[in-house]
Amino acid sequence: MQKVGFIGLGIMGRPMAMNLIKAGHSLVVYDIRPEAMAEVVAAGAKAASSSKDVARQSDVVITMLPNSPEVKQAVLGKDGVLEGARPGMILVDMSSIAPAAAREVAAELQKKGVEMLDAPVSGGEPKAKDGTLSIMVGGKKEVFERVEGILRCMGSSVVLIGPIGSGNITKLANQIIVALNIAAMSEAMVLATKAGVDPERVFQAIRGGLAGSAVLNAKVPMVLEGNFKPGFRIALHIKDLTNALETAHEIGVPVPLTSVVMEIMQTLRIDGKDGDDHGGIIQFYEGLAKVKVRRRM
C-alpha cells in the first residue's frame, strides 16, 4: 500500500484524513497548527515536523489548504513538499485554488520528476465526514489511476476532467452554481415568509419538483433553525468567487450573476458574517425585507 502524507487539517482536511485512516491507510500528517493534528494523530497518524518532512516519508502527498498562496508556500516554499520530494512522488492538491496557480505549481514539481493532480472537492464538512465528497480531478490519466483508490476513500464521485488545472476550473463552475443556488433559495424563502406563508411547508412542497436541489435540501433546514455554523464559510466562498471572476475576466467570459452574489457576500463580510456558513447569504435578504425565515413553533 502506498505511503500517504496529508498536509492541512482544517474543517475539511481533518475528516478527510480520518477517512483515509479508517480505510486502512498509514498516514503522516502536518499542519502549521500543532493542535490541529491532535485528533488525527490520536487515530493513528504519525505527526511530521514540516511539509518537507511529510514528503520525505510519502509516495503520495495530499494538500488541503485555504488558497493559492498557502499551497505555493507549503509546496514550493522553505521546508516545503518540493524540498522533501523524490522523483515519482505524486502531489494531489485537493485545495480550491486558481487554475493558473495549479499549473504553476505542477510545472515546478515536474522539474524534479514529481507528478501533480489538482483535485478540489465539493460537499462541505458533512460530506467530508461521511466520505461522500465530489472530487474533480485535473492531470494525467496514468497518474490519476495510481491514486484513484485513495481518492475514493474520501469521495463517492471521483471524475478525471482533463489536463492539470481542469479540476479547479470545474470547481469554479461548481462554486458559481452553488452560490447562485443559495441566493435564489434565499430570495424565494424570504418572499414566502414575508407573504405570511410557512417557509417549512414551502420547502416541503417544492423540494420534489424542478426547484429541488442538494443546496435546497442542505441549507433550508439550517436556515429554519437559524443555524449558520460553518460547514463552508462565506469567507471561503468569497475566495472561490474571486478566483472565478479573475479566471473569467482573463479568458473573456462575462459572469454578471456571479458578480452580484459576490457583492452580497462582501456586504456580509463587512457586517462581520464572513465566518458564517454560506447558507447565511440569506441574512442579506432577511435584512432587506425585515423578516427572518425560521421554523414556526
Check residue 107 and give its pLDDT.
98
**Interval 181-217: pLDDT, tens:** 999 999 999 999 999 999 999 999 999 999 999 999 9
With respect to residue 123, please indicate whether it lies within any of the assigned structural domains: yes
The domain boundary, picked from 148, 163, 178, lies at: 163
Structural domain of 199: 169-289
Same domain, 96 and 174: no
Nearest CA among 84, 294, 281 for reference residue 187: 281
Q: Which pLDDT value is given to residue 288?
A: 98
Residue 202 C-alpha cell reads as 414551502
Domain closes at, from 147, 163, 179:
163
| Within a domain: 122 | yes
Domain membership flag for residue 294: no
What confidence tens digit (pLDDT) does each residue in 5-22 have? 999 999 999 999 999 999
Same domain, yes or no: 114 and 154: yes
Check whether residue 224 and residue 266 sit in a common domain.
yes
pLDDT of 1 > 90? The answer is no
Residue 296 lies in a domain: no
- Give me the CATH number covering residue 121: 3.40.50.720
For residue 154, the model assigns a pLDDT of 98
- Domain membership of residue 245 (yes or no) is yes
23 and 96 in a single domain? The answer is yes
Beta carbons of 17 and 9 less than 8 angstroms apart:
yes
Domain count within the chain: 2
- Which band of pLDDT confidence, cut at 50, 70 and 90, is reported for residue 124? confident
Which pLDDT score, from 0 to 100, does residue 197 have? 98
Check residue 45 and report its DSSP letter. P
From 171, 219, 239, 273, the catalytic residue:
171
- Specify whether 49 is located in the same domain as 119: yes
pLDDT tens for residues 222-266? 999 999 999 889 999 999 999 999 999 999 999 999 999 999 999
| Residue whose cell numbers read 472537492 | 121
CB 233 within 8 A of CB 275: yes
For residues 188 and 93, membership in a common domain is answered with no
Q: Which residues contact 214 (CB under 8 A, 6 or more apart)?
A: none
Using one digit for the tens of pLDDT, what is the confidence trace for 63-92? 999 999 999 999 999 999 999 999 999 999
CA distance 142 to 6: 21
In this structure, the number of other CB atoms found within 10 A of the CB of residue 163 comes to: 13
95/31 Cα distance (integer angstroms): 14
Q: Under a CB-based contact definition with an 8 Å cutoff, are residues 109 and 61 in contact?
A: no
Let me know: does 112 contact 83? Beta carbons within 8 Å. Answer: no
Shared domain for 37 and 157, answered yes or no, is yes
Instruction: Identify whether 140 is a catalytic site residue.
Output: no
- In this prediction, residue 231 carries a pLDDT of 84
Say whether both 36 and 159 belong to one domain. yes
pLDDT at residue 297 tops 80: no
Distance CA 47, CA 289 (A): 50
3-state secondary structure of 211: coil
* 141-170 residue pLDDT tens: 999 999 999 999 999 999 999 999 999 999
Q: Could you tell me if residue 186 is inside a domain?
A: yes
Residue 55 lies in a domain: yes
Decide which of 113, 140, 163 is a domain's last residue.
163
Pair 78, 22 in one domain: yes
137 and 17 assigned to the same domain: yes
What's the CATH code of the domain at 232? 1.10.1040.10
Q: Are 102 and 46 members of one domain?
A: yes
